[in-house]
Structures are given as C-alpha cells and as structure tokens.
Structure 1
Amino acid sequence: MSQDAIVVLDFETTGLSPAQGDRAIEIGAVKLKQGVVVDRFQQLMNPGFAVNSFIAGYTGITNEMLRLAPSCETVMTDFAAFIDGCQLVAHNASFDQKFLAAELARIHVPQSQPFACSLLLARRLFQDAPNHQLGTLVSYLAIENDGVFHRALNDAEVTASLWLELTAAVTQRWACPAPSFELMLKLQRQPKHQLERFMKKQMA
C-alpha cells in the first residue's frame, strides 16, 4: 500500500441526496498509514432541522442528540483539516463523496481527493460473497466487529478492515507485494472478466 495516509470515512445523513436538501448528521473516519490505524474522527453534527423517525430509528441518532451537537459547518471545518492531503475510501463511495462535497462546499472548501470504493472493489475481488453490502462482507470475511451498523465510526472501522482485506487479496492473488492506492482505483473500474489481463499488464 502507498505510504500516504488513507482516510476511510462514513456519513450518516438525513436522507439520500444533498441535492434534495439532505444533510450529514454524523461523520466517522479512520486514518491508516501503511495499514495501521493512526487516528480516528467521530462527531455528530446538527443539520439545523429535525430528522424524521425513520432516520432516527435506522441510525439511533435522535433529535435530542443532534440538538446538543455542533453545526455541520463547525464539524466539517475540523474534518477538512483531518483529511487534508489524504486519499479517501468509503463503502458505496459515490454516496459519501456527494455528501462530503456538498458539506465542504458550504464552507468553501473543494473536494478534490480521489475516492476508492470498497463496494466496487469487493464486487471484483470477492465475487463469491452472497452480496456486497458491508454487513454481509464483514460476516463473509469474518471481520471483527461489535455488531453495530449505521453509526458512522463503527462503519468506518469495519470498512477500514475491509480495505485491508481487499489489498491483501490483491497481494495474494497476483503476488503484488504492496498494491498502491492508484492501483486499487484502477482495479475498481475494470470489468470483472478483465481483471487477470489488467493485472498482468500492471505487473509486467
């Protein structure tokens, strides 16, 4: 793996789309260097309006908890500093990337770092898994966890473990001793049936 720091992150949100006015309500992140966790970030954030009962039930994050939380702008200012200069990973990264970009835009910070997606990589590297939802992959790969999902730091922690399983799978399958972040980005975009040909070219 690259020696650059990688931040594995997860958002809990009020809904599915920042374009429809949804906001982040929690961010959790794990910072990895050379495959070792070196830092963590977790914070609830107040979106400025009440969350509905479905979201409260799904995440366990109540309006009372959010009422006492700092604003999204305050939290994202701190988080922007936490991820500065880092490469980013998330499970179903397109979801987290759009919320990260939207929340950073509110504090006039561009989101420019590349995002690797552990979901796309798992579809290519763990094709025998029953499905590629995070909880299923945690069970399939026997990743240690406390059974709590849909809270941001818990999900970031297990996604970080999944990322290490993904890089280990590349190492074992193709004798690639230290797959770089850039290689993983390219790999997630390859059609499943072309993985062998792609990796043969990379290793030549």
Structure 2
Amino acid sequence: MEELGFQEKIGFIGGGNMAKAICEGVVRKGLIRYSQVYVSGPNIQNLLYWKEKGSVPFRGVCANNSGPKASPSDISLVKKMFEVSGVCQQVPESLINAIGALAGSGPAFVYLILEALADGGVKQGVPRNLAVEFAAQTVLGAAKMSLESGKHTGQLKDEVCSAGGTTIAGIHKLESGGVRGALMDAIEAATKRSQELAQEKHG
C-alpha cells in the first residue's frame, strides 16, 4: 500500500458542499484518509455526513488566515491540498469575503444562468434534456476557452458576434435586461452578507 501524502490532521471550518468536494478530491488522490479530517459547522446533517465517512465532526470554532506563526511548510501543505480540487491562490485577508462570494456563491449563480439558458431552449422547442446538456457544454466550453486562450473576455465575446448576426442581437437583449449589472450586484450582495455573518460570529 502506498504511503499517504499527508500524516497531519486536516480541519475544515464549515462542512458544506465546498468542504465535501475538496476533501473527496484529496482522499481520492490518496493524500489523506477521512479519519484525518476534523470538521466544524452548525449544520447537524452535514456533521452526520462527515461522521459516517469516518471524520471527526464538532461544533463552535474560530480561525485565522495564515499569520506570522504559519510556517512555509504549513502554507505549502494547505496549497498542495487545495490544488488537488482546483485553483489555489494565496490572497490578502481583505479579499477573503469577496473571493468567497465569487468562488463560493458563484456556482449557484452559474446554475441559475444554466437553467435560464436551458429554459430559453425549451421555449423554442428544444427537449429539456438536450437543452440542459447543450447549455452546460456551452458554458463549459466558454469557460475553458477563457482560461486557455489568454484572451480578454471582451475579445472572446467580440469574436463570436458577427456584424448584424444572431449573437449580437442576443447580447443586445442581455445588456438591455441589465444582466451584467445584476451579476455584479449578486457578487456585491454575497460579499456584504459574508461580512455581516463574520461580524455576527465575532460580535
């Protein structure tokens, strides 16, 4: 049997979907076992999920970001663990709430967009299952192009919009409906709520 990557105990503040996804990724890679994982959070159902997995769940907890006592090896360990499940960047504490809104709440916003795109297809006669599949693949392809091309998203959008074509007509409707401002407002609202929740916990 291969030796595990980490022998340390790993803690999650909050045991929701994001923690589950991260932990599943590092366990699947053989870096840790669930028995090494400690999870805190207010949701009993989430804590029962972790207990069934063999983790150690508990409630009421306060944590800081990497402060002066965090060693380079501590930071490296956390970075290695998070990179298994996705992007890992070290950022100033002042950006934590905003990035949490973008990366943590953002998926729900994208699901809403996917549902709306699929609904639009259904309205035009596309069967629901096909509409959902095409909407999801479209968003996946666009996101991949944005990450891999190195081009500005505005340039990518312009490349799809032919003069007098169908796409620019759709873009006009989106802009008229305020979709850009609505998404920016959603990130702002989620950031503010995150700040409020932090103040409530420490108040």
TM-score where L is the length of structure 2: 0.29
Q: Considering Cα pairs closer than 8 Å and 6+ residues apart, tell me whether 1 or 2 has the greater RCO.
A: 1
Asked which structure has the greater CA Rg, the reply is 2
**Bigger proportion of residues as helix:** 2
TM-score, length basis structure 1: 0.29
